[in-house]
Amino acid sequence: MLDLLVRNATLPDGRTRMSIAVQDGRITEVTEGLAAPAHETLDAQGLLLSPPFVDAHFHLDSALTYGQPRVNESGTLLEGIALWGELKPQLTHDAIVERALRYCDGAVARGLLAIRSHVDTSHLSLLTVQALLEVRQRVAPYLDLQLVAFPQDGLLRAPDGLRNLQRALDLGVDVVGGIPHFERTQAMGAESIRILCELAAAQGKRVDMHCDESDDPLSRHVETLAYETQRVGLQGRVTGSHLTSMHSMDNYYVSKLIPLMAEAQLDVVANPLINITLQGRHDSYPRRRGMTRVPELLAAGLTVAFGQDCVMDPWYGLGSADMLEVAHMGLHVGQMTSQAAMRQCFEAVTTHPAQLLGLEGYGLAAGCHADFVLLHARDAVEAIRLRAARLAVFRRGRRVASSPAPVAQLHLPERPENLIFI
Ligand code: FE2
């Protein structure tokens, strides 16, 4: 007797009428038309069953703080940084934990079951680190939270930047972060990358740096990141986040850079909602989009994910843990409207970030964790188009969230009474 059988599902790869058998929290079989006794049987009615959404880039320590102590009036990056500086002294452990748990509730409801969050290590007290370590433990039964030690004020620029980052790693933070473009000089940015990659290699950690989050085409730290990745043998374990300067770089230079990034097996995260709003602010018109070169990086074989980055924090007063909204924006900003590219945008919030995080047992195949989302859409492109409702969310074979299908009652002559948005 199976624990759970999902029948008549469409999978993101296009297979239809598929059954997924679950036993002891794992998928035991994925096959067409399987009928077997189970404690719970779910008829997917031909709708899309996807592995859960994964957010490769987030800031859980600042999420849901919007308006504290005041709102970002200009909506710019610089006012956001100033605002975070004003807020930091007012943060408390309990308030950070409460907000983070509340955000994770919303994430689960939207089928987002794995998040890589940067955590600011600039405080001497490591208040944010301690709080998110507690959150990581508390959400572990239902959400994989991976933490990145992020020296927001600079590794070399801030006093004790390196020491605080190392203390955060010692406390159990998973990944080594960085912010080379924020160091005082290009040379110090490069030096910070060298130090951080050596540190990660020595301690067996992955790396994920905020890198070249700038419109300056000469912000080329990603080149150093690719070089250091290879030099210390971290291929496939290093992520360049943002890389917005690549949007503005000279095409000839990029034709050399992307193959170097591919050689180093660098992973990339673009954050379309944030990049499109924070970059290009010094432009008049034409005004640059700021998102990195996603289609070209994918074509070169790199793993590219779309991240949420911010939700209701000093930098961004919108967002809702909805990775389909993120994919929707990435698709538009990157002009990824071919059939194949639209499907890649779905992968950029599911399989790609799962690979980038190194998640064990992710996917819809025998042996994987029984983690999946039933979406109110017939395929991946429609899921993006509709930001489809998450009808049911499963973690380790157990239902952790449900939402009704959106239906509107129409009061029109000679038209249907109920409109189902599909
Ligand atoms: Fe970020």
Residue 77 pLDDT: 80
Q: Domain 2-51+363-409 belongs to what topology? A: Urease, subunit C; domain 1 (2.30.40)
The correct CATH number of 53-357 out of 3.20.20.140, 1.10.10.10, 3.10.20.30, 3.40.50.1820 is 3.20.20.140
pLDDT digits (tens, 9 = 90+) for 162-188: 999 999 999 999 999 999 999 999 999
Q: How far is the CA of 100 from the centre of ligand 1 (A)?
A: 16
- As residues whose CB is below 5 A from the ion ligand 1, the structure lists 309
* Helix (H), strand (E), coil (C) string for the chain: CEEEEEEEEECCCCCCCEEEEEECCEEEEEEECCCCCEEEEEECCCCEEECCEEEEEECCCCCCCCCCCCCCCCCCHHHHHHHHHHHHHHCCHHHHHHHHHHHHHHHHHCCEEEEEEEEECCCCCCHHHHHHHHHHHHHCCCCEEEEEEECCCCCCCCCCHHHHHHHHHHHCCCEECCCHHHCCCHHHHHHHHHHHHHHHHHHCCEEEEEECCCCCCCCCHHHHHHHHHHHCCCCCCEEEEECCHHHHCCHHHHHHHHHHHHHCCCEEEECHHHHHHHCCCCCCCCCCCCCCCHHHHHHCCCCEEECCECCCECCECCCCCCHHHHHHHHHHHCCCCCHHHHHHHHHCCCHHHHHHHCCCCCCCCCCCECCEEEECCCCHHHHHHHCCCEEEEEECCEEEEECCCCEEECCCCCCCCEEECC
pLDDT digits (tens, 9 = 90+) for 265-289: 999 999 999 999 999 999 999 999 9
- Determine what percent of the chain is predicted with pLDDT higher than 90: 94
Q: How far is the CA of 59 from the centre of ligand 1 (A)?
A: 6
Residue 422 pLDDT: 64
Residue 78 pLDDT: 82
Q: Is the pLDDT score of 420 beyond 90? A: no
Q: How far is the CA of 272 from the centre of ligand 1 (A)?
A: 11
Residue 19 pLDDT: 98
Q: Is the pLDDT score of 328 beyond 80? A: yes
Q: Is the pLDDT score of 376 beyond 70? A: yes
Q: How far is the CA of 285 from the centre of ligand 1 (A)?
A: 26
- Average pLDDT of span 336-345: 98
In the chain, what are the domain boundaries?
Answer: 2-51+363-409, 53-357
pLDDT digits (tens, 9 = 90+) for 129-160: 999 999 999 999 999 999 999 999 999 999 99
Tell me the Ramachandran region of residue 257: left when phi exceeds 0, alpha when psi lies from -120 to 50, beta otherwise: alpha
Q: How far is the CA of 406 from the centre of ligand 1 (A)?
A: 32
- Average pLDDT of span 357-384: 98
> In 3D, which of 364, 408, 354 has the Cα closest to residue 19?
364
Reported pTM? 0.97
- Average pLDDT of span 59-71: 95
Q: How far is the CA of 365 from the centre of ligand 1 (A)?
A: 32
> In 3D, which of 304, 382, 293, 290 has the Cα closest to residue 348?
304
Q: Is the pLDDT score of 301 beyond 80? A: yes
Band of pLDDT at residue 332, cut at 50, 70 and 90: very high
Q: How far is the CA of 290 from the centre of ligand 1 (A)?
A: 14
Q: How far is the CA of 318 from the centre of ligand 1 (A)?
A: 15
Active site members: 213
- Average pLDDT of span 381-404: 97
Band of pLDDT at residue 81, cut at 50, 70 and 90: confident
Cβ-contact 383, 50 below 8 angstroms: yes
Q: Is the pLDDT score of 76 beyond 90? A: no
Identify the residue with better confidence: 421 or 208.
208
- Average pLDDT of span 218-242: 98
